Amino acid sequence: MENLPEGFAADLLAGMPDAVIYADFEGTIRYWNAAATRIFGFSETRALGASLDLITPEGLRARHWHGYHETMRTGITRYGDGQLLAVPALRADGTRISIEFTIRPFTDAAGRMIGVAAVLRDVTAKFEELRALRRQIAPTAAS
C-alpha cells in the first residue's frame, strides 16, 4: 500500500470512533479497540481472551453461537457483504444497549475460517427515539 503513512491500519483501527472487535475461530476476543471500551465499558485487558459472551445477552447466546459456529464451519455468513445487523448487547454494568454492526470473515491461506472482525456502533439513542415515535403515531394510525 503505497503512499500510506506508516502504521496506517493499526492507527485507523485503534482510533476509530466505532468499536472494532476480532474474535477467533472459537469466539475468543483477540482484538478490542478503545471505542469498544467506551461503548461496552470493558477494558481491553478484561476483554482480550474472553468469550463473545462478554457482550452477548444471556437469552441470545444460543442463537448467537449457533450462527457463529455455522459460519466458522461453512465459511458462509448472511452478513459478510456489508449488511447491517442490529441486535441487543451488554455493557459491563449489565445494561442492555442496541448495536448495529457489520462483519468481515477472515480465512487462512487454505481458505478455512479463522475468525471474524466486527465494526460496531451503539445506536441505543436512535433505537429509543424510533420507539418513542412509533408509540406517538400508533394511536393516530388506529383512528
pLDDT digits (tens, 9 = 90+) for 7-37: 999 999 999 999 999 999 999 999 999 999 9
Query: Where are the alpha helices (H) located in 1-143, listed in sequence order?
Result: 8-15, 34-40, 44-47, 61-74, 124-142
Asked if residue 104 is part of any domain, the answer here is yes
Tell me if 2 is assigned to some domain. no
- CATH code, 129: 3.30.450.20
Q: Tell me the C-alpha distance between 122 and 42, whole Å.
A: 14
Q: Residue 2: CB partners within 8 Å, gap ≥ 6? A: none
Which residue range(s) make up the domain with 114?
Answer: 16-142
C-alpha to C-alpha distance for 52 and 129, rounded to whole angstroms: 28
Residue 67 placed within a domain:
yes
Residue 6 lies in a domain: no
Pairwise pLDDT comparison (142 vs 73), residue with the higher score: 73
Predicted confidence (pLDDT) at residue 130 exceeds the cutoff of 80: no
Q: Has residue 8 been placed in a domain?
A: no
Domain assignment present for residue 3? The answer is: no
59-114 pLDDT, tens digit each: 999 999 999 999 999 988 877 677 888 899 999 999 999 999 999 999 999 999 99
- Give the model's pLDDT for residue 90: 97
141 pLDDT band, cuts 50/70/90, is: low
Residue 10 lies in a domain: no
Residue located via cell numbers 481491553: 44
Look at the chain and report how many structural domains it folds into. Answer: 1
Residue 11, in any domain of the structure: no
